[in-house]
């Protein structure tokens, strides 16, 4: 198994027929060279994966990769970013769906000022925890999220998440907690890492992101969603997701049925599943919606 952070398939010696790479959650990837009918090496690879180091069953991905593809190891990328920031990682968690890996980590020193709580926050706390409280406190921090697709269908991407924690009691010994990482509010700052051949992340970039968090939240809160937006969401999500979403969304007062709280509920529901591609689909849907909306606004000026 290779322990390198980035492994270009073009770098493999021609006599090496298979590259095996391990990653989080016991994922093992195998990239196997394709030979032509006279056993001549081609610039293409078939892609296979298995779950767990002791698993015997290989799964094969439909389609081939060319030698221009670069394999990236998710944990090694995380360690590189933390080292690049000269910072201390204070926690991380991951989810995996087949060959898609999402790794979220928090770094010390990237806390954000607490947001002013609204009636909607109390309602969401009750709906999502089944606990009714009279008082709440909050804290927020910036999270780093790496989404890595090992089959060539999605580029290695760094996203910023906004971790919002609502809790009753004091911070050191809270009575009840609701923690949600909003994966969508800072989506415009997503970066493709491998394709840009640049894995560097510095404090200046992140400070710029921190400064704009509140304005991004305010912007999304100013956009009320309509039936057309919700109908579009239904077309790209399964029925179970829709039922869970509307159970919460329909309970919000009308003045809080805006894009920020939609993304908040999306994030909570995405955290409860291994379906990473659903999050990717919702990101794309939101991005297209915002771009189209801005074009309409610009044309009306």
Backbone φ, ψ for residue 42 (5° rounding): -105, 170
Domain boundaries, the chain: 6-72, 74-299
pLDDT above 90 coverage of the chain, percent: 50
User: Does the pLDDT value for residue 195 go beyond 70?
Assistant: no
Q: What letters, b where the CB count within 10 A reaches 16 and e where it falls short, cover 233-251?
A: beeebeeebeebbeebbee
Predicted pLDDT at 112: 86
Question: Is pLDDT above 70 for 301?
Answer: no
C-beta separation of 245 from 231 below 8 A: no
20: confidence class by pLDDT, cuts 50, 70, 90: very high
Q: What is the pLDDT of residues 198-233, one digit of tens each?
A: 566 666 677 778 888 888 999 999 999 999 999 999
pLDDT tens by residue, 35-63: 999 999 999 999 999 987 666 789 999 99
Rounded to whole angstroms, how far apart are CA atoms 133 and 139?
17
Q: pLDDT (tens digit, 9 = 90+) per residue, 1-16? A: 345 888 999 999 989 9
Name the region of 169 (left: φ>0; alpha: ψ -120 to 50; beta: rest). left
Total Cβ atoms within 10 A of residue 278? 18
Pairwise pLDDT comparison (201 vs 189), residue with the higher score? 189
Q: Furthest-apart CA pair in the chain: how many Å?
A: 75
> Across all residues in the chain, what is the average pLDDT?
88
Percent of the chain with pLDDT over 70: 94
pLDDT score recorded for residue 1: 39
| Separation between Cα atoms, residue 49 and residue 150, nearest integer Å | 9
Flag whether pLDDT at 90 surpasses 70: yes
Instruction: Give the CA angle between residues 142, 147, 153 to the nearest 5°.
Output: 155
State pLDDT tens for residues 159-188: 899 999 999 877 777 888 999 999 999 888
Distance of alpha carbon 29 from alpha carbon 60, whole angstroms: 10
Q: What is the pLDDT of residue 230?
A: 96
CB 132 within 8 A of CB 126: yes
Q: Select from 276, 268, 143, 145 the least CA-distant residue to 213.
A: 143
User: Tokens for 112?
Assistant: 């954000």
Is 127 strand, coil or helix? helix
Closest of 73, 72, 74, 65 to residue 32, by C-alpha: 65
First to last CA, the chain: 58
Q: What local confidence, expressed as pLDDT, does residue 298 receive?
A: 76
Q: How far apart are CA 147 and CA 95, in angstroms?
A: 10
| Averaged pLDDT, 127-136 | 88
The mean per-residue pLDDT over the stretch 90-97 comes to 89
Is the predicted pLDDT of residue 280 greater than 70, yes or no?
yes
CA distance 242 to 260: 17
Two tokens, residue 88: 């201390």
DSSP per-residue letters across 50-75: EESTT----EEEEEEEETT-EEE-HH
pLDDT range class, residue 194, cuts 50, 70, 90: low
Element containing residue 103 per DSSP (H, E): strand 100-112
């Amino acid at each position: 198994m290779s322990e390198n952070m980035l492994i270009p398939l073009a770098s493999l010696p021609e006599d090496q027929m298979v590259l095996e790479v391990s990653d989080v959650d016991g994922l093992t990837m195998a990239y196997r060279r394709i030979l032509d009918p006279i056993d001549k090496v081609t610039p293409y690879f078939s892609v296979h994966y298995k779950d767990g180091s002791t698993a015997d069953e290989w799964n094969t991905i439909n389609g081939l990769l060319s030698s221009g593809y670069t394999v990236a190891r998710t944990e090694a990328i995380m360690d590189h970013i933390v080292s690049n920031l000269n910072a201390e990682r204070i926690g991380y968690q991951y989810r995996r769906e087949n060959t898609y890996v999402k790794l979220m980590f928090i770094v010390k020193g990237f806390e954000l000022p607490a947001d002013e709580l609204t009636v909607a926050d109390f309602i969401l706390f009750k709906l999502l925890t089944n606990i009714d409280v009279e008082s709440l406190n909050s804290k927020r921090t910036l999270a780093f999220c790496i989404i890595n697709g090992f089959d060539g269908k999605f580029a290695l991407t760094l996203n910023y998440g906004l971790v919002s924690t609502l809790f009753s009691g004091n911070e050191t010994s809270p009575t009840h907690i609701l923690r949600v990482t909003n994966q969508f509010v800072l989506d415009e700052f997503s970066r493709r890492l491998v394709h840009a051949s640049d894995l560097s992340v510095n404090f200046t970039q992140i400070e710029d992101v921190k400064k704009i968090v509140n304005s991004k939240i305010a912007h999304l809160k100013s956009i009320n969603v309509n039936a057309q937006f919700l109908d579009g969401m239904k077309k790209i999500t399964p029925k179970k997701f829709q039922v869970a979403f509307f159970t919460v969304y329909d309970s919000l007062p009308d003045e809080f049925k805006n894009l920020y709280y939609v993304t908040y509920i999306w994030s909570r529901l995405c955290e409860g599943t291994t379906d990473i591609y659903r999050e990717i689909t919702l990101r794309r849907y939101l991005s297209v919606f915002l771009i189209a909306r801005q074009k309409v606004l610009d044309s009306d000026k």
